[in-house]
Amino acid sequence: MRCEVVAIGTELLLGQIVDSNSSWIGEQLALAGIDCHFQVKVGDNPERIAFCLRQALDRADAVICCGGLGPTQDDITRDVIADVMGVALHRDEAIVEKIRAMFEARGRVMTDNNKRQADVPKGASVIAQMPGTAPGLVCPVGDKVIYAVPGVPYEMHEMMEGTILPDLRRRSGETAVIRSRVLKTWGMSESGLAETLEPHLDKLDETGHATIAFQASGIEGLKVRLTVKAADETAADAVLSTEEALVREALGDIIFAVDDETMESVVLETLRRRGETLALHESLTGGLMAMRMTAIDPALDVFAGALTRGVDGHVAAQDDAIALAQEAQAAFGTTYGLAAVTPSNHGDFAPGTVFAAIASPADGQATTVALPGDRRRLRNYAVISALEFLRKSLARNA
């Protein structure tokens, strides 16, 4: 079973709205074991929408059409689908009354243009879930189908979960699932990752057990995505676990997180398990690290706080950065202090030089990193680099 997604709206092409709907739909299709090979965005133009729908029907068994079901003149999805089906539109008076009731429940009067939302292509059916004024549609085209859903995310989600995904499973007879696992890495280039994993990639090409893809994610590191299609959840998890073990064996400790984990969540969880605490000195990062920490630990059970004042004196070497980490450690009475700072004597160092330092109960340690970008990017990269330095130090002293 193959399904395509066609997102409709000129605002998507102009970048005024980010198309998060298509990515969510793609994720849900994968979880249901439905293959999705193409996703398309098209503006509010009837000829171009019709072209995209016909092209999608040529390539796939089902099409999910997202957007263009509102009451205004540029909401033409219903009209184009009817044209593609070769049928006329008819007005469903029961839907008109349902829309009217929604307006009256809010103390408002329904305008005449809202009646357009009750126009249904002949032979199509209305999706039962209707959390807003735009009804979704199930439109048969021969032995294939077009689903039309609103662009409002919560309305689309309800229709997908309530009608479209169950209908796709029924049509496909497919019980397989597609699952992915994302391993996040820090400290190696994308080309380096590919080269290191090349022998394993060649083996996967032969067996077809899983696929591996790489995704650059800026300050969140480079991601290695493992994907498998299997008969059920248990079988998929077994293959993913086997593949993850092989990738970890090849890449070692540059893997810092899995799936939704982040650098800060891993560091905080490690400290929590050990009954230890952390404070920060953020003269360079200006509270960015504390913001990420408090999002994970709002009660400040592990992360005690941060000093965000400027640096007094001259920062010329790693020892000065260690002193700042120790200052934070002492101020909050924590197990560890962590600091990231640029040298004051910039002329003696390459642009982007940052000292990351840790104060521990036993001693202090520091490292020097060269980071890319303007001031904003430098600060963000400094946050992740300092946390990665702490993560590896904690692993060594487990």
Q: What pLDDT score was predicted for residue 313?
A: 62
* Nearest-angstrom CA–CA distance, 351 and 130: 56
Q: What pLDDT score was predicted for residue 102?
A: 93
Residues 6 or more apart whose Cβ sits within 8 Å of residue 114: 71, 99, 100, 103, 133
pTM above 0.85, yes or no: no
Q: What pLDDT score was predicted for residue 350?
A: 86
Angle at 151 between CA 147 and CA 154, to 5 degrees: 100
Q: What pLDDT score was predicted for residue 289?
A: 95
CATH 3.40.50.720 assigned to 263-396: no
Q: Among 365, 340, 339, 336, which Cα is nearest to 352's?
A: 340
Domains in the chain: boundaries: 3-172, 177-258, 263-396
Angle between helices 77-85 and 46-59 (to 10 degrees): 50
Q: Other C-beta atoms within 10 Å of 183: how many?
A: 24
* Nearest-angstrom CA–CA distance, 304 and 276: 10
Spell out the per-residue pLDDT of the chain, length 398, in tens.
Answer: 899 999 999 999 999 999 999 999 998 998 888 889 999 999 999 999 999 999 999 999 999 999 999 999 889 999 999 999 999 999 999 999 999 999 999 899 999 999 999 999 999 999 999 999 999 999 999 999 999 999 999 999 999 999 999 999 899 886 777 888 999 999 888 888 889 988 887 777 666 678 888 888 777 889 999 988 888 889 999 999 988 998 999 999 999 999 999 999 999 999 999 999 999 999 888 899 999 999 999 999 999 999 987 775 678 889 999 999 999 999 999 999 999 998 887 678 888 899 999 999 989 999 999 888 788 889 999 999 999 999 999 999 87
Q: Indicate the CATH number for domain 177-258.
A: 3.30.70.2860
Q: What pLDDT score was predicted for residue 202?
A: 75
62 bridge partner residues: 3, 145
DSSP assignment of 202-221 equals HHHHHH-S-EEEEEE-GGG-
Q: What pLDDT score was predicted for residue 208?
A: 61
- Which of these CATH numbers, 3.40.1080.10, 1.10.1380.10, 3.10.450.50, 3.40.980.10, describes 3-172? 3.40.980.10
**Interior/surface letters 25-51, b for 16+ CB within 10 angstroms, e for the rest:** bbebbbebbbbbeebbbbebeeeebbe
Task: Tell me the three state secondary structure of residue 138.
Answer: strand
Q: Among 180, 197, 179, 201, which Cα is nearest to 188's?
A: 197
Asked whether this chain's domains 3-172 and 263-396 adopt the same fold, the reply is: no
Residues 6 or more apart whose Cβ sits within 8 Å of residue 265: 257, 296
What distance, in Å, lies between the first and last C-alpha atoms of the chain? 48
